[in-house]
């Protein structure tokens, strides 16, 4: 620590803290971390110069040491929190597309279907890419991964507020719609079917695929998550067989 009794008798940096604050005497405590100096804490008297006692100087050194511990602990907490956020993100997101994963979708459906926390109607779109296996077989798995990433970008662009888009695994995707957004299920399904059916460009090649979309609603088609997934799955397979657009659960 820098302990100064009389600023008038000491050289200080022009325009620095001491001059800016108008200090007559001051103590400057370096804030250290394991990596070096990270800052400085300055306190003092603006009314008069004073004589800092040996006890004051000992206290200043202790505070500087304790400040180093505080700084390092704060940085460790920040790193720990960042690591926890990263783990949580990985737990609920698909690593390839960045979309929420199955666990996140099931959580969103569970919340929406909860009679206490739910917000009105619930709809589920189940989406299966048509021709994805052909892309993998002819162009390779890397091209299949790129296709999934492009599909995820298009799906995000279509999602309204209150919707959760997810990758369930492989080439299967889903969208959960809660509250007022559930009323948009049919329109969204048609938009998804059209948009995901447009050509893709992968490494200079034009790739064409399609999307089969099944729609299920709660409480009309099911009252729980398992039933809603089953109903949407049945509708999606009927859409795949028909090949002409989305289908609604019977």
Domains in the chain (CATH in brackets) are 2-91 (3.30.450.40), 102-248 (3.30.70.270)
Among the listed residues 122, 97, 101, the one whose alpha carbon sits nearest the alpha carbon of residue 166: 101
Q: What is the pTM of this model?
A: 0.70
Q: Look up residue 100 and give its DSSP letter.
A: B
Residue 116 is predicted with a pLDDT of 65
pLDDT, tens digit (0-9, with 9 covering 90-100), for 55-91: 998 998 888 888 878 878 888 888 889 888 888 888 8
Query: How confident is the chain (250 residues) per 10-residue block, as mean pLDDT?
Result: 90 86 91 80 90 90 83 84 87 94 94 76 95 92 96 96 93 94 95 96 93 95 94 97 94
List, in order, residues 6 or more apart from 113 with CB less than 8 Å away: 122, 218, 223, 224, 225, 228
- Catalytic residue (one of 94, 128, 171, 221): 171
Within the chain, strands assigned E span 2-4, 25-33, 36-45, 122-130, 163-169, 172-178, 200-202, 205-207, 210-218, 247-248
Distance CA 8, CA 24 (A): 7
Residue 10 is predicted with a pLDDT of 87
Residue 117 is predicted with a pLDDT of 65
Task: Classify burial at 174, counting beta carbons within 10 Å of its beta carbon; exposed 0-12, middle 13-18, buried 19 or more.
Answer: buried
The single residue listed with the structure tokens 């110069």 is 49
Among the listed residues 25, 23, 26, 24, the one whose alpha carbon sits nearest the alpha carbon of residue 1: 26
Among the listed residues 116, 126, 120, the one whose alpha carbon sits nearest the alpha carbon of residue 182: 120
Q: Is 2 a catalytic residue?
A: no
- Is-contact 140 202, C-beta < 8 A? no
Residue 64 is predicted with a pLDDT of 84
Q: Compute the CA torsion angle 228, 231, 237, 238 (nearest 10 deg).
A: -140
Residue 85 is predicted with a pLDDT of 87
């Amino acid at each position: 620590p820098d302990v100064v009794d009389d600023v008038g008798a000491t050289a200080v940096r022009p325009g620095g803290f001491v001059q800016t604050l108008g200090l007559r005497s001051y103590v400057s405590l370096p804030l250290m971390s394991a990596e070096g100096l990270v800052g400085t804490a300055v306190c003092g008297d603006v009314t008069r110069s004073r004589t800092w006692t040996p006890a004051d100087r000992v206290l200043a050194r202790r505070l500087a040491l304790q400040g180093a511990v505080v700084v390092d602990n704060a940085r460790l907490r920040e790193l720990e929190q960042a690591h926890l956020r990263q783990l949580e993100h990985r737990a609920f997101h698909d690593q390839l597309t960045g979309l929420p994963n199955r666990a996140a979708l099931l959580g969103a459906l569970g919340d929406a279907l909860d009679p206490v926390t739910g917000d009105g109607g619930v709809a589920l779109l189940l989406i299966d890419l048509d021709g994805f296996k052909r892309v993998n077989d002819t162009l390779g798995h890397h091209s299949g991964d790129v296709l999934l990433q492009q599909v995820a970008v298009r799906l995000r662009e279509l999602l309204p507020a209150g919707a959760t888009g997810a990758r369930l695994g492989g080439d299967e995707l889903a969208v959960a719609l809660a509250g007022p957004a559930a009323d948009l299920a049919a329109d969204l399904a048609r938009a998804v079917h059209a948009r995901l059916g447009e050509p893709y460009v992968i490494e200079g090649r034009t790739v064409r695929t399609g999307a089969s979309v099944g729609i299920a609603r709660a409480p009309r088609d099911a009252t729980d998550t398992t039933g809603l997934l089953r109903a949407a799955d049945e509708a999606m397979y009927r859409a795949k067989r028909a090949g002409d657009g989305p289908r609604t659960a019977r």
